Structure 1
Amino acid sequence: MSETIDKTDTTSFHMEGKCPFGGDRIGGALGNRPTLENWYPHRLRVEVLHQNGPAADPLGPDFDYAAEFAKIDFEALKRDIKQFLTSSVDWWPSDYGNYGPQMIRMAWHSAGTYRIADGRGGAGTGLQRFAPISSWWDNGNTDKSRRLLQPIKHKYGNALSWADLMVLTGNCALEIMGLPTYGFAAGRLDAWEADNATYWGPEVVEMGSVSSFDDMVNRDKRWRGKNGDADYDLENPLAASHQALIYVNPEGPYASGDPLASARDIRITFTRMAMNNEETVALIAGGHAFGKSHGMVPAKEIGPPPEMAPMEAMGLGWHNPKGTGAGKDTMTNGIEGSWTPDPTQWDNAYLENLFKFEWEQTKSPAGALQWTPKDPDAPRTPDAHVAGQMHPLMMMTSDIALKVDPDYRKVCEKFLNDFDAFTHAFSKAWYKLTHRDMGPKHRYLGPEVVIEDGLLWQDPLPERDYGLVGAAEIAALKQAIAATGLSVSDLAFTAFSAASTYRDSDKRGGANGGRLALAPQKDWAVNRRATPVVEALRGVMATFNGGRSDGKKISLADLIVLGGCVAVEKAARDAGVETPVPFTPGRVDTTQALTDVEMFEWLRPVVDGFRNYVDDGFGQMTRSVSPEEMFLDKANLLTLTAPEWTVLTGGLRALNANHDGSNRGVLTDRVGVLTTDFFRNLTDVDLVWEKADSDGMTFALKDRASGQTKFEATRSDLVFGSNAQLRSIADAYAGSDGQRRFVADFVKAWDKIMMLDRFDVKGHRRYGPMAA
């Protein structure tokens, strides 16, 4: 390609010679351009099912993190971290000569994005490294913390994930400052690209235009009602009180400076993050025993966050133009000062000062609202960088909240009177905070894994104390299940209902444990059809287990899954395809006492398109979210690809696994036979769909010529014909050569769902659950 560039044109390059590729500019094709979301804001983003896949991972699918981590000299690693923590570098000097406090904040904010509603967020994949989290206002200068850790990361290489390193560094920081930590488990697998699936809120804010907490939170759209009203609540599944925060605005809601209103926000957000009152107080009081807050420069003077910083910044953001831009000039959240006289020592000074003194509102050098003791004789705190210089103590509005809220105050007083209890509570709460999204202990790695079984948030399962069934026993059990007379539809529905509670976000749920037979799952409206099936299978279990002399038993959890295998094998056989459905025994039955009913209630689906279920209160629970979007989210939590999502749905409709046994979406006259009828009828050009209700939630499939209704369906059915990507997959099964492929692919996807929570038999792979 040959051209002459007219450099006198300062607004654009003028090319006298034409590029053979056509046109005279390429900027629009590669630069800032509209996206599909700009053009079609309501399109279903099926591509989120394929994010963070093998193509993004430089380590490859065969990389075994557990094996590599086991090669690390763990004590040497901790020594390296602790030696670093008490050092300092010129470009980002440590406060008080100790990086510990800022590393605690980094680890806390990495883990603190976790939310119980959908299990997303948390420290599990190191997403603090990527947008949007990396550039949230509340994560200001965590980029510096990670950059400081880079030499340690490079030393240990891929045997140590960023996700594990951040949490372990937080633990080491607590230890060098005197807190006995509860434990540490490795096993977090790094993501390799930004999370484009998680819903972080309805607000659309250009983060580069945010100049303060006030500017950010005044654009809030996530709250219902007003703080203090009976209907005051936060939109689900959100947990943070405002966009780009981890928890709450430290200045109080909308920088109001109202401690009681702040307490209400704290309770809602920390509850959404799976913390009770005692854990909440322990985390706030414990975390604020260390370090200081930074607010020496007005927020409007600070540069853009990492994701918007200039190229030469090399991934670092929030450039501070004042002085050195760091040290005594540091700006982070705008509040300035320390909570205690000894910010690098674990003690009870935070609570002692909070309750001993009366506090008055003041402002930081950056203009943020904060609190100072009224008593001029109150202890003072040393400057973090200037020797001999002292400052008044500081509290945030969110700190004063713990004193004015009656329930939080009771916990504070308990900890004031019993420092050992406070120490133990903070250690356990920190362990929960940093491990909540890791799933069962089978995934934990390293020498500091806590063995205690009484932690309900870990969804504990009892150890199996009996032998596993073999091929002969499995064959006999299949015959016994078939002899019950339970239908293919009922067996498939029950097995899927047990297994599909799994969510990969925090590795909770699944068939293991048999919790389908326990509260709260047994009482969910979506599961009612399973009740008689579970009771019939209990009878099979009792007969099989009673009086055996070989030590082998079958759990109800295994039997529910095996019942699904019986159903799918029969359905495939009746469709003319003989195929075995894999079954891996070893699931155990847990107890009601080992089940946290409140926490498991968060797994109850609002929409489950696989079983064609929409909660009666769906409209009141969500804001402008369609059932098919919730269906996509469910498929994402189950780690399904678009083809797996499609084939599973088509098969479940053929089996009629609808929650109520209705015929909606069951586009076949051969119910219980694993045919491709769902896809063939869905894409039949001689049929036409019409709305069956004014809201467009149900539809009738009519013959184009006669107008006669042949089938009924929901949005969760029609999406596989209306969405271009899903329809292309449906076409692959609807053709004349699709039947055998359909059965084979359905069986693979079915087994994947049944095995999602079987970490007891799976290796530590890169991409989450894989069949054993």
Structure 2
Amino acid sequence: MDAKTGEMSGCPMHGDGGMRALLGRTNKDWWPEMLATEILNPNGPSNPMGDDFDYAEAFNALDYKALKEDLHALMTDSQPWWPADYGHYGPFFIRMAWHAAGTYRTADGRGGANSGQQRFAPLDSWPDNGNLDKARRLLWPVKQKYGQHISWADLFIMAGNVAIESMGGPIFGFGGGRADVFEPERDIYWGSEDKWVNEGVQTRIAPEHGFEQIEGPLAAIQMGLIYVNPEGPGGNPHDDEGAARDLRETFKRMAMNDEEIVALTAGGHTFGKAHGNGDASTLGAAPAGGDLAAQGFGWVSGEEHGGIGEHTVTSGIEGAWTNTPDRWSENYFRLLLDYDYELVQSPAGANQWQPIDQKEEDMAPAAWDSSKKVPTMMTTADMQMKRDPGFRKISEKFRNDHEAFRDAFARAWFKLTHRDMGPKIRYLGPEVPQEDLIWQDPVPEGTMPSDSLISEVKAKIADSSLTVSQLIKTAWASASTYRKSDHRGGANGARIALSPQKDWDVNEPANLQKVLSTLDGLRGDMSLADAIVLGGVVALEKAGATDVPFTGGRGDATQEQTDVESFDWMEPEADAFRNYRPKKMGVKTEEMMLDRASLLGLSLPEMTVLIGGLRVLGANHGERGHGHLTERSGQLTNDFFVHLYDMTNVWKSTDDSDEEYVATDRAEGREKWHATRADLVFGSNAELRAVGEVYAQKGGEEKFKKDFVKAWTKVMDADRFDISYRKYHS
């Protein structure tokens, strides 16, 4: 790969597009010489802290006040190997925190700051993260001092907060609890492009080429960007309509509305400067492509002055947005709205906008000589806060009401940096805000039901008209919304009974309402959320399972506590666990199955045993019999695997899409079973088959039941942070 342009000689994923194998382009594709450390982790991610390390416990033992004091001191402790603009690292650490959190996307909950992924490829080498490797090295002495008591993931965000505070900006609060991971998260699809963002590369929204929105779960507008191209769509500074469109689409996919877009843009750009005062062609490789001697440093300039300080090139844009770049002010809106702007180019050749006839008092101090004055600037993205009617209205509101701007920025920054942490119960530390915010998916604290109440409700459910299939479907529909990526969803809160989930086609709304109404009438003082999960326990016991655990104490959320638009993103387009695929898509059914299992936090054996059990229990969407490979319907048996691997069957596709199949008897030619791709893959894929054969073999039925119950319970309890975190909030 060319270190400057990012162009590759050939595309290893050419023609696949979409969520190719869920992963898209891998780190090895971008950097073929990268050391393949994953060879030592055949059984999952590595963790040098050990399985028994409790980060929440370690964080609670942190000297929080001392850490913040050290971070405040760091802000003005300029180092010669990477000196601070204006003598203050605050803007640098704001950018680091922003870019750590800004990869979050609401469609699948992946990305974000929750695990410190900015330390690893590909994020550490994205063009938009240029030179943030230096910010992380500046933080190392602090991380080294406090060790296991503060994760890198928490430190990134705390440093951003302290940076804002140290320059007089508003902060809404901070919640710790982001445990580190120690390798790249390989289940995140970052895109299929074979180039990083650079001039001439097509954006992900290009109506002239038939692209009306960003592909799949992606949020950034181009490969290697956090949000949008600051120079405009594809680097075009004259496409105002496209620039405003890109801002709205990408921020919407990161869970932000118009007011939050303006508040974050203006608040973030109140501080610091962009860097483009040099020759971009002299920059070396990104961290992931550097040599050993660079020790993880990237983008090292080949110019004599070393490309640091006033000669730094990062985005290629050069200059400060305001005349007060080292402190909080209202000057962003004043300069943006009061001046006319003209298009100019930075020394690095980037397009940017400069005020016409700017007054000297409105110019910025030179970052390395405060006695000099230089013009401020705006990017094409900034100019939309003035040119787009909707954004301008908000900009004028904030200009006229600075307190409203302070509050909006503080809240939007808190949301940006905490959106992927899940329920507030997971937040740790003395600065957690008391206010419940709707994007935190609040759930009222539940009451632990007594043993007698559990027994009473179980008996009522067992004696009701509800079938095994109905109870299993409802419990699964409620709990399987959980996703480990941002800890949203799950059975706690019983949001399956609220909009939008109650109306999702995958949940069969008419049948769901009947089940929920019946359970509501039987539950007595038990929460509906608990009754739904308990109904699944009753169904499994009816189906022949034993020792099915149940942990009560869930609460019931209200419609007012539910962000309908945000939950809309979580509606599954397909669900292999329920054999649901309503339309033809550009992604294989089995790949979507793996993706959903990954978001549920399931291992390959857990996914396999759940699919096999759900099929025979009648959990398919509607009355669809595909994959129901049993004559003992409603019983928890290993029949799915036994009959799938029966060599008296011959399978053939029944349609052109290769989505549905029929099995006929080899000898008699009679039709025996129907199935989908999500069923047959457990016979065609060697790894899935190897697991399935364990359950199909003689003596495997009891293991199958035991493993199914364990995996089922894992899904039912996946969101029980109210239990696992309670000891840290006493």
Relative to the length of structure 2, the TM-score reads: 0.92
**Which deviations, in whole Å up to 9, do the C-alpha atoms of 1:537-577 show, x marking residues without a partner?**
01102xx2xxxxxxxx200010000000001111125xxxx
Matched residues, percent identical? Answer: 50
Structure 2 SS opposite 1:731: helix
Gaps of 5+ in 1: 1-33, 545-552, 574-578, 766-772
Runs of 4+ in 1 over 6 A off after TM superposition: 34-38, 40-43, 45-54
Q: How does 1:295-694 map to 2 (within 5 A)?
A: 295-322=276-303, 323-377=305-359, 379-453=362-436, 455-464=437-446, 467-528=447-508, 529-541=511-523, 544=524, 553-573=525-545, 579-616=546-583, 618-619=584-585, 624-694=586-656
Q: Confirm whether residue 255 of structure 1 aligns to residue 239 of structure 2.
A: no
Letter in 2 for 1:699: Y
**2:190 match: secondary structure:** coil
- The residue aligned with 2:72 is 82
Structure 1 pair 43–683 and aligned structure 2 pair: CA distance change class (3 A): farther
Q: What is the distance in 1 between the residues matched to 2:291 and 2:390?
A: 47
Task: State the SS of the aligned residue for 1:316.
Answer: coil
Give the 3 Å change call, closer, same or farther, for CA 348–43 of structure 1 in structure 2.
Answer: closer
- Letter of the 1:671 counterpart: S
Match of 1:292 in 2: 273
**1:615 offset after TM fit, Å?**
3.3
Residue 96 of structure 1 is matched in structure 2 by: 86
> What letter matches 1:111 in structure 2?
A
Classify 1:44/1:366 alpha carbon distance in 2 versus 1 (closer, same or farther; 3 Å): closer
Instruction: Give the superposition deviation at 1:46.
Output: 11
Q: 1:180 to 1:45 in 2, by over 3 A?
A: closer
**Conserved? CA contact 2:143–2:152, under 8 Å:** yes
Give 1:195-274 correspondences, 5 Å limit: 195-205=185-195, 213-215=197-199, 218-220=200-202, 222-226=204-208, 232-258=212-238, 259-274=240-255
| Residue identity in the other structure for 2:720 | R
2:309 and 2:85 mapped to 1: Cα distance?
7
What is the aligned partner in structure 2 of residue 133 from structure 1? 123
Cα offsets for 1:573-623 (capped at 9, x unmatched): 5xxxxx12100000111111111111111110001110111133x53xxxx
Give the C-alpha shift of residue 416 in structure 1. Answer: 0.4
Contact 1:44 1:723 in 2 (8 A): no
Would you say the 8 A contact 2:203–2:221 is kept in 1?
no
3-state DSSP of counterpart to 1:282: helix
Between stretches 258-267 and 279-288, larger displacement belongs to 258-267
CA deviation string 1:439-464 (max 9, x = no partner): 001111000001102x1100011233
Report how far residue 45 of structure 1 moved.
7.5
Q: For residues 44 and 137 of structure 1, do their structure 2 counterparts lie closer, same or farther at Cα, with a shift above 3 Å needed? A: closer
Q: Indicate the residue corresponding to 1:756 in structure 2.
A: 718
User: How many residues were matched structurally?
Assistant: 699
* CA displacement, residues 252-306 of structure 1 (integer Å, 9 cap, x when unaligned): 0011102332111001100111000000100000000000000022332211110
* Aligned residues of 1:469 and 1:585 also touching (Cα < 8 A): yes
What amino acid does structure 1 have at the position aligned with 2:547? P
Q: Please state whether the residue corresponding to 2:667 is helix, strand or coil.
A: coil
The AA in structure 2 aligned to 1:564 is G
Shift of 1:224: 4.9
1:709 pairs with 2:671: yes
TM superposition shift of 1:705: 2.2
Q: Distance in 2 between matches of 1:705 and 1:633?
A: 38
- C-alpha separation between the residues in 2 aligned to 1:615 and 1:410? 42
Shift of 1:180: 2.5
Q: Secondary structure at the match of 1:761?
A: helix
Structure 2 CA distance for aligned equivalents of residues 521 and 561 of structure 1: 16
Whether the 8 Å contact between 1:46 and 1:632 is mirrored in structure 2 is no
SS class of match (2:544): helix
Is the contact between residue 339 and residue 395 of structure 1 (CA under 8 Å) also seen in structure 2? yes
For the Cα contact (< 8 Å) 2:22–2:188, is it kept in 1? no
Unaligned runs of 5+ in 2: 1-9, 27-37
Whole-angstrom distance in 1 between the partners of 2:726 and 2:301: 42
Give the deviation of 1:191 after TM superposition: 1.3
- Per-residue deviation at 1:483? 1.2
Partners of 1:731 and 1:697 lie apart in 2 by 23
- The code of the aligned residue for 2:565 comes to E
Query: 1:43 Cα deviation (Å)?
Result: 8.9
Aligned partner of residue 614 in structure 1, secondary structure: coil
Aligned AA (2:712) = W
Within the alignment, does 1:721 sit opposite 2:683 as a pair? yes
What pairs up with 1:13-52 in 2 under 5 angstroms?
A: none
Measured against aligned partners, the alpha-carbon deviations of 1:650-694 in whole angstroms (never above 9, x if no partner) come to 000010101213111111111101111101111122212110111
Residue in structure 2 matched with residue 9 of structure 1 by the alignment: none
Distance in 1, Cα, partners of 2:666 & 2:163: 70
Q: CA deviation at 1:204?
A: 2.2
Query: What is the alpha-carbon distance in structure 2 between the residues aligned to residue 763 and residue 312 of structure 1?
Result: 43
The SS at the match of 2:371 is coil
Q: Is the 8 A contact 1:571 1:672 kept in 2?
A: yes
- 1:322-357 superposed Cα distances (whole Å, 9 cap, x missing partner): 213210110100000001111011001011000000
After superposing the two structures, state which structure 1 stretch, 296-305 or 147-156, moved more: 296-305
Deviation at 1:757, TM superposition (A): 0.5
Q: For residues 90-142 of structure 1, give each alpha carbon's deviation from its aligned partner in whole angstroms, at most 9, with x where no partner exists.
A: 10001000000000000000000000111111000000111111110000011
Instruction: State the alpha-carbon separation in 2 of the partners of residues 354 and 154 from structure 1.
Output: 42
- The 3-state SS of whatever aligns with 2:243 is helix
User: What's the TM-score, normalizing by structure 1?
Assistant: 0.88
Contact 2:644 2:683 in 1 (8 A): yes
Q: Take 1:250 and 1:126, find their aligned partners in 2: how far apart are those partners?
A: 25
Counterpart-to-counterpart distance in 1, 2:388 and 2:42: 43
For 1:713 and 1:118, locate their aligned partners in 2 and report how far apart those are by CA, in whole Å: 28
Q: CA deviation at 1:739?
A: 0.4
Q: Which residue of 2 aligns with 1:107?
A: 97
Amino acid at match of 1:745: D
Instruction: Tell me which structure has the larger Cα radius of gyration.
Output: 1
Report if the CA contact (8 A) 2:458-2:534 is conserved: yes
Letter in 1 for 2:609: V
**What is the identity, as a one-letter code, of the residue corresponding to 1:199?**
Y
* Contact 2:453–2:526, Cα closer than 8 Å, also in 1: no
Residues 617-658 of structure 1 deviation map (CA, whole Å, 9 limit, x = unaligned)? x53xxxx31111111100000000000000000000010101
Cα distance, 1:715 vs structure 2: 1.1
Counterpart of 2:3 in structure 1 is none
Structure 2 Cα separation of the partners of residues 599 and 52 of structure 1: 36
Q: Is the 8 A contact 1:701 1:709 kept in 2?
A: yes
Given that 1:202 and 1:221 are in contact with CA atoms closer than 8 Å, whether structure 2 keeps it comes out as no
SS in 2 for 1:660: coil
